[in-house]
Amino acid sequence: MSPAELRQRAAAINWFHSIDLGQGVITPGQDDSARKLKFVQLPASLAGKTVLDIGAWNGFFSFEAERRGAKRVLATDYYCWSGPGWGTKDGFNLAREALGSKVEDKEIDVLDLSPESVGIFDVVLFLGVLYHVRHPLLVLEKVAAVTKELLVLETLVDLLLLKSPAMSFLAGDESNVDPTNWWAPNPPALLAMLRDVGFKRIEIVGHPRPVTARAVGAVKRGKHALRALQRSRIAVHAWK
């Protein structure tokens, strides 16, 4: 495929991930994928590992896992490939072709994940998905069942001022004007849920933005919404 053809085909797709397709073509994704890669601290080497990427969308993290030496990578999605969302599978298919990748794909909803439907993987990536599901603890059970060693999880968190486990229900489209955002746990709740579904050791590798006393003071003066102030992102590594 020539650079001109690749550029033309890429331009026809509405991208979420920013992926370097080679030949000077980088997709104009809405997501700062390179920044997120640093935030989640994907292991530098995945040599010999099997990797499952849940909610892969355009496949940035699937292809990165392959680049880091994974012997097998399976990308799964449903909502962003053929579901009611605005995404399609076109970006994933073009990126795989352009990169000469051997990443496998399976269209499956997260609630249908099981050892029987997809198998069990050494490393599972669950990035930017948890807050989009209606039943987060059930979904974490599904994810744990297909994880052999390590889960890399990134998600929205809320209620950062609370020290006890709690979860925020994101009513309507209040979170990022997106009605598919449902739940945001606080860090204690997320860690407790992960332990409940069978993960023995959990490390926060990407820390939420701190809620400072100065910021709380600003809220009291009416400059910001306290609810929004308590929201941030978190990345964790959880081991079986």
Report pLDDT digits (tens) over 127-173.
Answer: 999 999 999 999 999 999 999 999 999 999 999 989 999 999 987 66
pLDDT band at 10 (very low <50, low <70, confident <90, very high): very high
pLDDT, position 182: 83
pLDDT of residue 158: 93
CATH of 31-239, one of 3.40.309.10, 2.170.140.10, 3.40.30.10, 3.40.50.150: 3.40.50.150
What's the pLDDT band for 177 if we cut at 50, 70, 90?
low
Predicted confidence (pLDDT) at residue 6 exceeds the cutoff of 60: yes
> Is the pLDDT reported for residue 223 higher than 50?
no
**What SS3 class is residue 17?**
coil
Across the chain, mean pLDDT equals 91
CA atoms within 13 A on the CB side of 188: 8
Instruction: Return d(Cα 186, Cα 60) in angstroms, integer.
Output: 27
Q: Which residues contact 151 (CB under 8 A, 6 or more apart)?
A: 123, 124, 126, 143, 144, 194, 199, 236, 237, 238, 239
Res. 214: pLDDT tops 60: no
Taking only the tens place, the pLDDT of each residue in 97-119 is 999 999 999 999 999 999 999 99
pLDDT surpasses 90 at 88: yes
| pLDDT value for 180 | 79
What is the per-residue pLDDT for 176?
A: 60
Percent of the chain at pLDDT above 70?
A: 89
**CA dist., res. 105 & res. 59, Å (int):** 10
Per-residue model confidence (pLDDT) at position 123: 98
pTM for this predicted structure = 0.91
pLDDT tens, position by position, 43-55: 999 999 999 999 9
